[in-house]
A and B are shown apart, each in its own frame.
Chain A
């Protein structure tokens, strides 16, 4: 089944995709490494003090996160474009050039973060060192670079989509990636008014991760279901449109849940509450859809007297299923339980947010992008049915288990913080440290560090597996 999609060899677009995936994987490693540094600092505050401070480690931790995901997202699109459109990607030379521009810029930005760290309170610090705005710290010069790179990418996507066969998946990706690139512009200005600053900052962060990125995941999942288990394209694509309606319908105005306490008017309480309550619904629906299609396709094959599994890429499919589950768990459950304003008043800005961030970024995005990397390995090695190795299994368990463990530990820490610092002490300096010194909080941080180390070890297995699984002999070729 679906073997006509495995045309990795000979497609320049797919070759470029593997470059993007490789660099993404390296940055993923960097993300985990600096996350580990920050986690150690919670347990041993003197660790690398005034050498690589928490602020620096965390900045690299979250920036590497965003950038590796963007790289892998671009890579996944370059990977699937030839399959979907039936032609070689238009403007592949520009794509390759932009890859090097992007990768080079990232290296420079990270080196400046590490070696310069902070600058004087001047405009030039914002332009040259970093902007000091969580997640989008990249200095202004790099902002412009990112815009150029994103525009080049969107151009290639549009040109290819319009020249070749424009499937539903490609159409969704075209609209979605245009919005994704455009939204970045709303985060590229400086203002003295911190409320206005954060208002627009959330346009980038929220409308990325809770709207455009989610739709992107829907499109990739649709592609995965068609290529990996041979799901019916018409059904999958119709479902994709329903998902787009549900995700944008709830996600765009779900932005309101970030506008409870930043100086914005009170009507955002109602808007935020209503649309946040709706946000889990598409996630439930996506989860059910994957299981439904899997069951249906397998059932149809078995009815034809073919009991073999319909899955032609075990490792990738495992990560896709983890995605459906993790999206619901991390973004859905962990998002919902602190989203209503009545309770968010106490949980806003505590480790709860951190727990949600870890589980949601991993569950909703890291999983499916790792799955795409495995699909690229399958394609470039011309494997018909790819099976897991011992390393695949070790990596999957350790990474998924490690992140889950961190999420639970951080949830416990957040609970202590809510009870002590927020509900009782009213969020003062003294109240804050009172919460941090509690035994439960301290132990939660120990466990978070341990689970972080497990995740890191899992990453080592993952890297090894991605590099070697293609050469394994137990696949069907």
Chain B
């Protein structure tokens, strides 16, 4: 009924011991990603002292590492590999871009009469 499995031609199998590291590292991708974005934003708005900033970038480094770990343990293909690298580089700039935009809007609206909410 079932043909014998020729292991050599199979898409690389995830090793049994690799499942837990995969699940944990992929969760940490987002946790560290959030740390980076939150620290960056809070330092910029002045809620955190400036010396905290390096920890934000450390968060990004850890995000990138976790994503790398996850990707290699999963044996992702070439396309996904490239997509993940681009995502990581993009993510480095994302909080900068978002902060820049929000800040511009606030500044440009500061002198207007706020009529609809006070």
Contact = CB atoms under 8 A, between A and B. Distances in A.
A–B direct touch, CB within 8 Å, in complex? yes
Interface of A: 1-2, 226, 230-235, 238-239, 242, 270, 273-274, 277-278, 280-281, 284-285, 287-289, 291-292, 295-296, 299, 328, 332-333, 336-338, 340, 342-343, 346, 415, 418-419, 423-424
B106 A332 contact: no
A340 B19 contact: no
A213 B86 CA distance: 28
Contact of A234 (B84, B98, B105): B105
A418 to B, nearest CB: 6
B33 interface: yes
A232 B117 contact: yes
A106 B95 CA distance: 45
Contacts of A273: 76, 80, 83
Contact of B14 (A281, A285, A287, A423): A423
Main secondary structure of the interface of A (DSSP, over half): helix
A295 B79 CA distance: 41
Contacts of B22: 337, 343
B47 A295 contact: yes
A291 B31 CA distance: 17
A342 B106 contact: no
A343 B102 CA distance: 37
A242 B101 contact: yes
Nearest to B108: A234
> Chain B contact residues (Cβ within 8 angstroms of A): what range?
35 or more
B94 to A, nearest CB: 7
B16 to A, nearest CB: 6
B64 interface: no
B110 to A, nearest CB: 9
Given A288-B37, A419-B19, A235 B118 contact: no
A235 to B, nearest CB: 5
A419 B23 CA distance: 12
11 contacts: A226-B116, A270-B79, A284-B34, A288-B37, A296-B45, A332-B30, A333-B31, A336-B26, A336-B30, A342-B76, A423-B16
B104 to A, nearest CB: 10
A296 B14 CA distance: 47
Contacts of A342: 14, 74-76, 80
A331 to B, nearest CB: 11
B103 to A, nearest CB: 10
Q: Which of A231, A234, A278 has the most CB of B within 10 A?
A: A234
A1 B114 CA distance: 12
Contacts of B84: 277
Contact of A277 (B37, B41, B83): B83
A8 to B, nearest CB: 18
A278 B33 CA distance: 13
Going nearest first, the 4 A-B pairs with the smallest beta carbon separation are: A337-B26, A342-B74, A333-B30, A235-B105
B45 A346 contact: no
A324 B29 CA distance: 18
Contacts of A235: 102, 105-106, 109
B74 to A, nearest CB: 4
B27 to A, nearest CB: 5
Contacts of B14: 342-343, 346, 423
Given A281-B94, A285-B98, A230 B34 contact: no
B101 to A, nearest CB: 7
A291 B38 contact: yes
Given A230-B118, A336-B26, A423-B19, A328 B79 contact: no
A332 B26 CA distance: 11
B17 to A, nearest CB: 10
Contacts of A242: 101
Contacts of B20: 415
A328 B38 CA distance: 13
Contacts of A418: 19
A270 B80 contact: yes
